[in-house]
Amino acid sequence: MHPKDIAIANYTYILPDEKIAAFPLANRDASKLLIYKERIIREDNYQNIAAYLPENSLLIFNDTKVIPARILFQKLTGGIIEIFCLEPYEAINEYSSVMNKKQRVRWKCMIGGAGKWKEGSLVKRFSSNQSVTELKVSLVEKLSDAYVVEMEWQPAHLSFAEVIVQMGDIPLPPYIKRKTEAADKERYQTIYAAYDGSVAAPTAGLHFTEPVFTSLKAKNIATDFVTLHVGAGTFKPVKASIMQHHEMHAEWMDVTKETIRNIVKNIDNNITAVGTTSLRTIESLYWMGVKATLFPEATLENLAIHQWDVYEEPLASSDFSAKESLIFLLNWMDKNNCERLIAKTQILIAPGYHFKIVKAIITNFHQPQSTLLLLVAAAVGKGWRNIYDYALENDFRFLSYGDGSLLFIHSNS
């Protein structure tokens, strides 16, 4: 079956509210861990995850950093308008350049209470250390699914990243039905987060601590990092009855040549993706290598992976090995004097997908009828139901602040 024909109603389960974790555990690595390998389910916690990973394997993490993307403005009449920054609304070749922009930016945003914003600009001020920062936002354009908002500020020497740290709030997922607290600024962020850009955390990584990294190193398990800036689309429900009518969210990925070489070096070892975002990034690299081979004159923009690319010609019939494809990609980078691959991926991984690089995934438990659940089903086949039934029956905590799983990919899924 082509993934376009998947009926999302076949990928649902009953998730009681009390199973959704509203708060994280005090100790990150105390979270429960479900291990699924060769159709057998085991249970432990993240402190002991190294015991279940093969020696000499490679774990790849997403080192994106969550930005305080929710900005609340209070009108003179008392009404509250929320600006939720989704992604830059301008041509960029490097995400950090937008975060470092001075004086003015344009972003694609969702607006809560947009009906209250009839005209004019909204202004918010922040005072600190005898200085005042003023942020003014103006509505530029209404899109089909969002708005274009221009933000400008004083003092003009501040970067956009510095301004939103002062003005914004951590964007907890909509299913966590409470206000953010001071502790969320630290806990809704991985300990290795490095590059500003996400509006949602790569939550599988929230469980990792320095002692866990030490245990991985003791077993000769290597680690590496990719960057994929997580968009709000990760929470976008699938409203269409079949996947053909659902538009997957596109996200920016940033991978160094050194990391791609490291993947090639470890291609015959067990490569484990920490999180669905890392997995989508790693698998996208394979298909970008295929594109670079089939279309030698491709530009960086041409290498972008669109929603159905990997299931349709000419990519679908390619039979390059993972190593071959990644070497093609490295050659393309050499030819184009490219040390880092910064591109968009819209890859949809669903049942029917054949994994090219990743052999296992560490991931939290996801919402019913979501693209993330489709990814899990692609990895473990029909066994996803047994996994989720076990988690529900054995007091696992679900979604972003919940527990997680180590799933070894079933080759015939």
**pLDDT tens digits, one per residue of 115-144:** 888 778 899 999 877 789 999 999 999 998
Q: Could you tell me if residue 95 is inside a domain?
A: yes
Domain that holds residue 49: 3-65+189-408
Domain shared by 157 and 219, yes or no: no
- Read off the CATH number of the domain in which 250 is found: 3.40.1780.10
pTM of the model: 0.94
Question: What is the reported pLDDT for 120?
Answer: 82
Q: Could you tell me if residue 241 is inside a domain?
A: yes
**pLDDT tens digits, one per residue of 325-339:** 999 999 999 999 999
Domain shared by 61 and 129, yes or no: no
Count of domains in the chain? Answer: 2
Averaged pLDDT in 10-residue chunks for the chain of 413 residues: 95 97 96 97 98 97 96 84 90 80 93 83 86 93 91 94 93 91 93 94 97 98 96 80 93 96 96 98 98 96 97 95 98 96 96 97 97 97 97 98 96 50
Q: Could you tell me if residue 182 is inside a domain?
A: no
> Residue 5 and residue 216: Cα distance in Å, rounded?
41
Q: Smallest Cα–Cα separation from 222: which of 280, 195, 262?
A: 262
Domain shared by 243 and 145, yes or no: no
Residues 6+ apart with CB under 8 A from 407: 36, 360, 361, 362, 363, 376, 379, 380, 387
Domain shared by 56 and 157, yes or no: no
Residues 24-55 as b/e (b if ≥16 CB within 10 A, e otherwise) read bbeebbebbbbbbeeeebeeebbbebbeebee
Do 357 and 283 contact (CB within 8 A), yes or no? yes
- Kindly report the average pLDDT of the chain as a whole number: 94
Q: Could you tell me if residue 176 is inside a domain?
A: no
User: Looking at 138, 169, 200, which one is the last position of a domain?
Assistant: 169
Q: Could you tell me if residue 342 is inside a domain?
A: yes
Q: Could you tell me if residue 183 is inside a domain?
A: no
